[in-house]
Structure 1
Amino acid sequence: MKDVELKDIRIEDYNKLQKYYLMRRPETADSNLLDLYMWTDCYPTQYFCNEKGVMWVAKSEDNKYYSSVPCCRNEDLKECFYDTQKYFNEVLNKKLVMYVVDKEAVDILNLPEDKYTVIPDRTYYDYVYDAQKLQTLSGRKYHKKKNHYNAFCREYEGRYEFKLLDSTHHDEIMDYLENWKQHKEHTEEKEFIDFEAIGIKYLLEHENVFDYKIGSVYIDDKLEAFTIGNYYKQEDMVYIPVEKANPNIRGLYTFICSEFLKVAFPNAAKENREDDMGLEGLRKSKLSYNPIYMVEKYTIIQK
């Protein structure tokens, strides 16, 4: 283990990493390679790999090391897990801590209780939705959402336009994010948005490498909402790492959520809208879209 070389996450390695990401699809936002690149500034992460998988080593601001689920086939998960632990124990001289572990991985690993603590973490459960329902907003459960959608269309009739964007809109998107930050009161939340903006800028600058789509809504020729999504055919799932809208415009969030799927991913079966970060307001909002199920995640701590 002493001779293991940690590698930084570089754009040149995207195709190599994608190969490993496709080996196992646990339906988590963390299994979306787009997320890894987008948040690498906020959560500095390195990796080492062999022919069976990719193992992660990350370090927090308070100098604590942690990992996440190795990217590999199910049958190789135990071996890659213990390779990760070996690196932590022998090289870092630390006990292994692994975050956002999906339930399938927990079941496969079947770790002994006397050696590990396995804790469910509701904060990071992902919300998965019926993508076709989000397009139509049909049925009693979506009655309020449909009302908001219709109210937006009525109020701004003839004044709004949905458009797909690309990197040529870089400056406009970055200006929008800077203005969006002003809606937030807490310093920590503003810093989080700063990291998010850095990640979005990175995606735009490497548009030729990543496979994603950007949807937007303009009102009176002014950008008022945008979202980013990408698709994995293995689970027939759209992942939404970014969605922003002017909170003062009724129905705008509902409109862009629905319209983006109609235009960009009309045939997708499911949509993962990620976790709620434990924020009460965000949790209420995500639940209001009627998830069909939650993707459970756990923390594993070596005793």
Structure 2
Amino acid sequence: MEYKKLNFKQLVADDIQKYAGFYGLRPNKTCDSVELESFIWKDYYNVRATIAMRDGKEVGLLWLMGDEDRPFAAMPLCKEEDLEYCFNLMVEYFNKELDLPLKIHLADEEGIKVLNLPEDKFIVRQEEDAKDYLYEGDKLRNLSGKKLHKKKNHYNNFLKTYGDRYEYRVLGCNPTDRDDVFKFLDKWREKKGEEVEKHLDPEVEGIHDILLHCTKLNIRMGAIYIDGEMEAFSIGSYNKLEDMAVIHIEKANPEINGLYQAVNK
């Protein structure tokens, strides 16, 4: 009856440091492998979390998302040896507490392999439109290889036009940098107009939330300024176990050719 002890609470900025120790406990190459991804979308997906206990010890971080009619979960954050226990806790919670089958979105491939779920009880389906892009760091920095040739051409065009006019800056958690991002976002959002993806405004709200609480978050931010004005910025974090940078947000003035490639480098 351990599932009855699960007490899911809304995710807030002050929780991030408390939950940080559950990240990087097992191999995971998805964007959900770092704290910031859950924080960005906490309001859009109604993200709630709780800590799983086993024999008096904290063994994993469990997720509950969505609304009462369509709840879903994410893969537990825990060590490989605790994954089956944490997963089964969620199965029980959904089956017995919510009277629903467990549904997990964006389950990581590594976790699926560890669980080795029986096919007669679980359906594992690949979501083609939800895949994360994985690049080798050196190839992306140098834009080398056939697959990145088009990106390199765009970047070279950017250098020809703005080579002596642009500057890359590392952003910090200070009012000046924050205000620059806010101003850029206002202009960027205005250019998008009304016919946009339904997640766009919640994403902008998530960015505002990040900047207002960035001292509590494990993030790295950078921006490109052209003629002294911010024209692109990026927010990322680092998965130490995988030695992997995770880029959560990347926005650029779409009217400037090659700018996305420049900030991506």
What TM-score comes out, normalization by structure 2 length? 0.90
Partner residue in 1 for 2:26: 24
Letter in 2 for 1:117: I
- Distance in 2, Cα, partners of 1:63 & 1:188: 26
Higher share in strand: 1
What is the CA distance between 1:237 and its match in structure 2? 0.5
> How many angstroms apart in 2 are the aligned matches of 1:76 and 1:248?
49
Q: CA deviation at 1:145?
A: 2.5
Out of 8, 12, 27, the position equivalent to 1:6 is 8
Residue 187 of structure 1 and its aligned partner are, at CA, apart by 4.0
1:247 to 2:254 alignment: yes
Q: Residue in 1 aligned with 2:227? A: 220
1:86 is displaced (CA, Å) by 0.8
| Unaligned 5+ runs, structure 2 | none
Cα 1:77–1:182 change in 2 (3 A) is same
Is 1:15 the counterpart of 2:23 in the alignment?
no
C-alpha contact (below 8 Å) 1:174/1:197 kept by paired residues:
no
> Is residue 80 of structure 2 the alignment partner of residue 74 of structure 1?
yes
Matched-pair identity in %: 38
Q: Is the 8 A contact 2:33 2:239 kept in 1?
A: no
Query: Take 1:149 and 1:85, find their aligned partners in 2: how far apart are those partners?
Result: 48
Could you tell me whether the CA contact under 8 Å between 1:225 and 1:244 is conserved in 2? Answer: yes
Any conservation in 1 of the 2:222–2:233 contact (CA below 8 Å)? yes
* Residues 181-213 of structure 1 deviation map (CA, whole Å, 9 limit, x = unaligned): 233356452x42221122111211122221222
Q: Which residue of 2 aligns with 1:151?
A: 157
Aligned mates of 1:32, 1:113 — CA distance in 2? 29
Query: Which residue in 2 is equivalent to 1:180?
Result: 188
- Quote the residue 1:198 is aligned against: 205
Instruction: Provide structure 1 residue ranges, at least 5 long, that are not aligned to the other structure.
Output: 259-303
**Which deviations, in whole Å up to 9, do the C-alpha atoms of 1:153-189 show, x marking residues without a partner?**
1212322111112232222212222221233356452
1:52 corresponding residue in structure 2: 59
1:36 maps to: 38
Quick check: 1:234 aligned with 2:241? Answer: yes
Q: Which amino acid aligns with 1:171?
A: D
1:40 and 1:31, CA in 2 relative to 1: closer, same or farther beyond 3 A? same
Residue matched to 1:264: none
2: CA distance, partners of 1:120 / 1:78: 20
Higher relative contact order (CA 8 A, sep 6+): 1
Provide Cα deviations, 1:226-252, integer angstroms capped at 9, x if missing partner.
Answer: 111111221110000000111111111
CA apart distance, 1:140: 4.5
Q: Give the match for residue 142 of structure 2.
A: 136
CA distance 1:159–1:188, shift in 2 (3 Å): closer
Q: CA RMSD in A?
A: 1.8
Helix, strand or coil at the partner of 2:123: strand
Q: Which runs of 4+ in 1 moved over 6 A?
A: none
Cα distance change on mapping 1:109 and 1:142 into 2, 3 Å: closer
